[in-house]
Amino acid sequence: MTKVAFQGERGAFSEDAVITFFGDVELFPSRYIGDVFEAVLRDEVDFGVVPVENSQAGSINDTYDLLLSYPLNIVGEIHLRISHCLMALPGESLDGIKMIYSHPQALAQCEEFLRKLKAEIVPTYDTAGSAKRIKESGLKGCAAVASRRAAQIYGLEILAEKIETNVNNYTRFFVISKKKAEPTLKSKTSLVFGTKNIPGALYACLGAFATRDINLTKLESRPSRDKPWEYIFYVDFEGHIDDKVCQEALAELKEKTNFIKILGSYPRAAD
């Protein structure tokens, strides 16, 4: 059976992403996103599923840094609708909650609802892990922000549901592997590059795509870890690395950059 690692405990949204993409597989929960990359690199699993960005809270920086560091390939993507619930031990009431646990991204996505509660907000490493902690430690007066399935797994009572600020709340996940994905009719490519420190450098780099009518679906800058106040750029574009027009664009891009790393070409997720 296919083995897939994901960040979080059973009931995490990353597990939902795994099931959505693969169906029935052997699941390997991991505490940190970096642990997922390590499991794939060491052949402990066949694939990893990691969150990349949320439509409300933005990018998951750890994932982007790890994509740059590890010799792995993006082979798929998932767009998952995220709906959060507030859950606690059976018998608890909303008015009695004094402390709320969850992952920082989930807390950010539910900020408007949580702001109305007179409770201390405590960031943790995982949404489902917060639910598991409340159950196993019998934490009274405490609640977790997690998925409906997490409440079912850990036997918690849902005090409020659909508490996310934006109903159009989606998280994008990448599927990573040591292998590469086969070309498809609707492919997307992700890469990262560093520009030369000269006027118009980024403009020139993006021209390699624009002059060939290659559609960029994402452009994001991140601070360089090697040089203070310098930046690298993550780009997603429509097309496969083996497409002739994409190869031409990348050949031109290599002439205008300090470095470039192809993170993967993979099938585009269905909208």
Residue 227 has pLDDT above 80, yes or no: no
Residue 197: alpha-carbon gap to chain centroid: 30
* pLDDT for residue 223: 87
Residue 53 pLDDT: 92
Mean pLDDT for 45-63 is: 91
- Interatomic CA distance for residues 76 and 181, integer angstroms: 8
Domain count, the chain: 3
Chain Cα centroid distance, residue 94? 30
Mean pLDDT of 15-28: 96
Residues with catalytic roles: 171, 173
| 0.85 surpassed by pTM | yes
Where are the strands (E) in 71-146, listed by range?
73-81, 85-88, 99-102, 120-123, 142-146
Q: Quote the CA–CA distance of 58 and 65 in Å, as a whole number.
A: 15
In the chain the first and final C-alpha atoms are separated, in Å, by: 28
Cα–Cα nearest to 172, from 41, 24, 57? 57
Neighbours of 206 (CB within 10 A): 18
Give the CATH number, domain containing residue 243: 3.30.70.260
pLDDT > 70? residue 271: no
CATH of the domain at 20: 3.40.190.10
User: Is there a domain that residue 22 lies in?
Assistant: yes
Q: pLDDT class for 118, splitting at 50, 70, 90?
A: confident
Note whether residue 150 is domain-resident: yes
Q: What are phi and psi of 216, to 5 degrees?
A: -85, 125
What Å distances lie between residue 229 and 59, 151, 224, 225, 226, CA to CA? Answer: 20, 44, 7, 9, 10
User: 40, 82 in Cβ contact below 8 A?
Assistant: no
Range of the domain at 191: 187-267
Tell whether 153 and 201 lie within a shared domain.
no
Provide the pLDDT for residue 157.
98
